[in-house]
Structure formats: structure tokens, C-alpha cells
């Protein structure tokens, strides 16, 4: 029964995340073949995940099921490695080498940098909470 509950929570998170991803793709349409929507989804997910794990979980004592729903369900369906690889291959096939280079670089390096920023954001929020208690 517990696994069925977790499965249901993941379905809810995935439903929300995939719909957010679709909405985001309507807002950030590809420009000159550059997959801006996928980039925005992956970078924003890379920013939010460390904050979720390192701050919200500790600050609000979120349950394992809640974290699983938000991280694996919602963010897992919102961010998209498969679309990233498909977009990269499309740029490669079309001979858009410069866009491919920028897309790969910004996604990989940018993802790492915004993940660092997410960790910094979590730490600064935790410090602010701690200093308010004194």
C-alpha cells in the first residue's frame, strides 16, 4: 500500500511538472533553431533542486514522500535530458555548429553554475533563518 501511495504522489508531481514544461515551451519558443525552452527548463530545474533538497527539506521538515514528489516527480518531468539530446542532435544534423556549441556549453556549464547558485541560495536562507532565531 505504501508503494502505491508513493506511485500516486509521483504521478501527481509528474503531471504538474510536465504541464509546467509544456507551458514553459509555449513561452520560450525556439529562436533560429536554438532550443531556448529546453535550456530554460533545465537551468531553472538545476537551480531549484539544490534549494529544495538543502533548504526546504531541512527548514520545513518535509517528508521523504514530499521530497520525492517534488524532486523526482515534478522536477524530473519538468527538466528533460532526452529533449536536450534530441535538440543537440537536431542542431548537429542541421550543421548549426555555433548554436550546438553554445547550447552544449550553456547547458552543461550553466547547469553546474546555477546548481552552485542554488546551493548558495539554500545556505544563505538557512543562515538568515538561524540569525533571526538569535
Check residue 106 and give its pLDDT. 97
Give the pLDDT band (50/70/90) at residue 59.
Answer: confident
Provide the whole-model pTM.
0.88
Distance (Å, whole) CA 50 – CA 47 = 6
Q: Has residue 1 got a pLDDT over 80? A: no
Provide the residue range defining the domain that includes 100.
2-133
Number of domain units in the chain: 1
Q: Is 111 annotated as a binding residue?
A: no
The residue length of the chain stands at 134
Tell me: the pLDDT tens digits for 96-131? 999 999 999 999 999 999 999 999 999 998 888 888
Q: Is 107 annotated as a binding residue?
A: no
Looking at the predicted structure, is the pLDDT value of residue 13 above 80?
A: yes
4 pLDDT more than 80: yes
Average confidence score pLDDT of the chain: 92
Amino acid at each position: 500500500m505504501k508503494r502505491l501511495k508513493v506511485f500516486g504522489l509521483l504521478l501527481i508531481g509528474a503531471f504538474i511538472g510536465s504541464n509546467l514544461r509544456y507551458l514553459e515551451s509555449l513561452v520560450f519558443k525556439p529562436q533560429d533553431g536554438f532550443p531556448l525552452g529546453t535550456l530554460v527548463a533545465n537551468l531553472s530545474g538545476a537551480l531549484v533542486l539544490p534549494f529544495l533538497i538543502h533548504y526546504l527539506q531541512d527548514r520545513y521538515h518535509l517528508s521523504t514522500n514530499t521530497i520525492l514528489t517534488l524532486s523526482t516527480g515534478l522536477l524530473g518531468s519538468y527538466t528533460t535530458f532526452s529533449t536536450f539530446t534530441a535538440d543537440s542532435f537536431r542542431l548537429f544534423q542541421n550543421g548549426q555548429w555555433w548554436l550546438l556549441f553554445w547550447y552544449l556549453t550553456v547547458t552543461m556549464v550553466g547547469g553546474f553554475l546555477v546548481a552552485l547558485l542554488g546551493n548558495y541560495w539554500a545556505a544563505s536562507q538557512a543562515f538568515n533563518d538561524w540569525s533571526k532565531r538569535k
